[in-house]
Amino acid sequence: MKLTVLGATGGVGSEVVKQALAAGHHVTAVVRDPARLDAEDELLEVVVAGLSEHGALAEAVSGRDVVISALGARDRTPTTVVTDGAHAAVAALGSAGTRRLLLVSASGPFVDGDAFFTRNVVKPILGRVLRHAFADMIAAERIVRASDLDWTIVRPPRLLNGPHTGAIAARTDGNVRGSYSINRADVADYLLRAAADDSLVHQTVSIAQGRRGSRVAG
């Protein structure tokens, strides 16, 4: 594939870049600070651009098979980084004629499929603590869904820095029960799988860490 990654220096984005290059994909990494990008490869193109630079972003996504927006807030202060990324991505893809967009959101703001205790005790507390980040993700999802792109929204739970395991549970009808975290490397693995899966177009997928030795579950 030829893919463009927004948020390529973040925890998930950097893993997407690393795994995509290892798989032989052509990767365009859109960054604000190239010094923070820990990757070098003949298949890697680095574009230095902010989310407001429409022309540069449109060029960075032109001719690509898929664009992955892996932007996320770094603290608990008010933020619009995911929303701004969604706006920028939708506009850039529209100008460039590129169709496929994957947005990394989170399962935290949503309760479909959750067990009673998670839905009624854990999520209300989590929603207060992370209210700014959650509001940003909800708004970003609305922007992507309202577009005419071939989008997929991926909702992981709490992100960890563990190794790539390949053990991933996934649901399109609600959050994954019994697993409340996932390694960033496995989120990247799922994003690359989903990018090539046409059955996930216009789908929202919640993912979480599966049991070791298991395969990706739909």
For position 213, what pLDDT does the model report?
A: 47
Question: How far apart, in Å, are the Cα atoms of 77 and each of 3, 9, 85, 110, 132?
Answer: 31, 20, 17, 20, 6
Chain centroid to CA 86: how far?
11
The strand pairing partners of 67, in sequence order, are 4, 101
| Helix residue ranges per DSSP H, 7-119 | 11-22, 54-61, 81-96, 116-117
Judge whether 100 and 195 are in contact, CB under 8 Å: yes
Cβ atoms within 10 Å, residue 140: 26
Bridge partners for 33 per DSSP: none
Q: Which of 56, 16, 28 is nearest to 195 (CA)?
A: 16
**Mean of pLDDT values over 25-49:** 96
Q: Is 35 helix (H, G, I), strand (E, B) or coil?
A: helix
Predicted local confidence at residue 74, as pLDDT: 81
Residue with tokens 């960890």: 160
Cα 17 to Cα 196: distance, rounded to the nearest angstrom:
16
pLDDT of residue 218: 46
Amino acid at the residue 190: Y
Q: Which one, of 22, 13, 5, lies nearest residue 159 by Cα?
A: 13
Q: What is the pLDDT of residues 62-116, one digit of tens each?
A: 999 999 999 998 888 999 999 999 999 999 999 999 999 999 999 999 999 999 9
